[in-house]
Amino acid sequence: MFDSPIEVIFCLTTTFLSYAGNTMIILVMTSSQSQPRAKTTRILFSFLAINDMCFMTLYLFEMMVIIGLIKTRADLRIASMLMFVLRDYSNWILVVISTERFLCIFRPLTVKTCCHKRCVIAVLVTIFCTLVGLSVFCSFITVVYCSLYVLNYR
């Protein structure tokens, strides 16, 4: 995957900048001076920043395994599965942000009844659990299919 030290330095720099930027986003979204923003929007952007930091942590772990700094390969499959879940989760968080902003613009008087803090957190948790469930199910089906394929052609 990494042919030169420049690629390794680039990946480390990207990871560091990602941590720095997402930390600043979390600090801004959770500070008390950001009151004009809607609480749900602050929650959504904070979740997105935390999700990106988790993704970059797994990316750094995978990079260390590939380079050889970490000798285990047992957890690489789980880390890869979580990376796919977190990648898809980022996209779904953006869908929820877009939906919430759409409702704020086109239904400004009724948005407070459907877009409150508890509802947004429930939607985010439901989406995450669904993505993890689908990923585990697909992994299980792949293992079963591959084992049946091997048994049928022996």
Gyration radius (Cα) of the chain, Å: 20
- The count of other CB atoms within 10 Å of the CB of residue 44 is 24
Whose structure tokens read 């995450």? 128
Give pLDDT, residue 24. Answer: 94
The pair of structure tokens assigned to 112 is 């407070």
Q: Using a cut of 0.85, tell me whether the model's pTM lies above it.
A: no
Alpha-carbon dihedral of residues 41, 42, 47, 50, nearest 10 degrees?
150
Q: What is the pLDDT along the chain (154 residues), one digit of tens a residue?
A: 556 778 778 888 888 999 999 999 999 888 866 565 578 888 899 999 999 999 998 888 887 777 777 776 666 777 788 888 999 999 999 999 999 989 888 888 888 788 888 889 999 999 999 999 998 888 777 777 766 666 566 5
Give the span between the Cα atoms of 63 and 56, in whole angstroms.
10
Question: Residue 87: which domain range?
Answer: 5-152
User: One-letter amino acid identity for 136?
Assistant: V
How far from chain centre, in Å, is Cα 43? Answer: 15
C-alpha to C-alpha distance for 142 and 148, rounded to whole angstroms:
10
What pLDDT sits at residue 154?
Answer: 57
CA distance 38 to 127: 21
Predicted pLDDT of residue 79: 78
> What total number of domains does the chain contain?
1
